[in-house]
Structure 1
């Protein structure tokens, strides 16, 4: 199949991050098969964001939006999660208006890189409205020299029991084994009257649209993969304002870190306490996990065959102009928000309502 005949694959994110991490996000996702990125800068006036803006603005396959107060017309939602979802759904509307309804829109975070087999994606039936990308989470270790190359997937009961018996995890549960989200991420058919949430695709009634799953599309999550990234991530999250509720396994961790970071400690003292928490609660024994063969060795930043895809799938100038037309316009939640995670089947490995492995695609 010629690349030009494929439905375009676009990713949207709302971010506030360092230039180095943004560079990884851009290069990794384009190397993983994404045609174009739409990036909303959540705090464009803050320190360091001018450099990020310049970096994104000069890239021909990135559309960047300064999404500060002027973007919201004085009605900026307090919760980051709400801002993320509204921005994603504005993007879907804009893309649909440009005639890209047959394409796909992914909603991912700035610390995530997707890997999509475009040949497998081209075989998805036209009446499929949503995809679910299973998650692979970076092993957190202070030994990384550069970006991580060992990632964790959800495990079966036998592997979880072994890790628990060996004292590697506190409970034989994927919710403990995976520190970040276990729900993965989703893509929506751009022309469908559906809403992107943080992890799923929602219908008008806030129920969720089951996503087609396959090992041919995955999301790699760089979740607190080092001490430096852990400190950066949690400090930024506390500064971003209120967030939606965490799953039970993370709730106490989030509460503890918010209380610690908000305590007004001297910078050196805060750093010592964050490092102490990281060593006790977050860092993983990479050598042990490799010995037990429970991690996948992969570098998500290495281009897939055929990636980056040939340019031209997205009318960039028209997209940029159409996004700017939303600056200052009302973005009512009743139109553009259907929750951060819609009601429906759970995220467990055998949850009902999930469409697994229908294409027999290759894992990455």
Structure 2
């Protein structure tokens, strides 16, 4: 059995998948242990699969295109992973030299550690989402963390102890946060190292185009799907805190609707006060951020997120650990060659 499994999830990454795979292949020389590479493809329509199958990797794909999504892509790859440790990588990322030996050493030296991540270097910042994230530097805070953004190295034993699935297949976003919450509430720690783990080449899309894409793909609805899946779980309050801004926007709209429908003759005064409260909150945010564009994008995204939460709460769900129907497209891993 391999020591380490590297799962690369892809969707139309023909220009980037070769670099991702080559960075994963370099890990075996770094750590001196056996490594298997699994490409979990979300039914790409470009040459992603063709390029990936040139390398000594296993390529698997969804049998049903309707089931694809970020969480399902992670879980699809995990279904085929056999390593003692599992690393999850996006197809538009490259593993940084030196990270994997350090991360594996941390896991080996601390039996209570469930996962290890590092910093994410963004090589292309084309939209306001990426700009805000880079400016806030949310993915590079070292030390004990709640979850591992941008990929991470996990102990298989920890994943199996926290439900047995690496990601909730119902989620098209927030899958890393959901895994982090499950792991920590199962008693495992998560660590982010003060070093680069991956280089990330992001989207070419504009901010509005990304909003549209996320809505059409239903990825935007992941907030509602996450909240619904957390109901009755020990991390339900934590999930709500993570989404505090869109939830606050949703509550504001519900409050306004309540005033209009039930406040009677006082609705005019109360609605004006309610709108004034929102205006003061916006002014306070602008004074704190001192960046009108940042504030505008943030406020729009919160209201967009509020609508997405409502839609996501109505999304159909299946059991997170239910096996995903898939097909094996090619297997050129060393173990497969030995078995032939």
TM-score class, shorter: 0.3 to 0.5
TM-score, length basis structure 1: 0.44
Could you say which structure has the higher helix fraction?
A: 2
> Which structure exhibits the higher relative contact order, with contacts defined as CA atoms closer than 8 Å and separated by 6 or more residues?
1
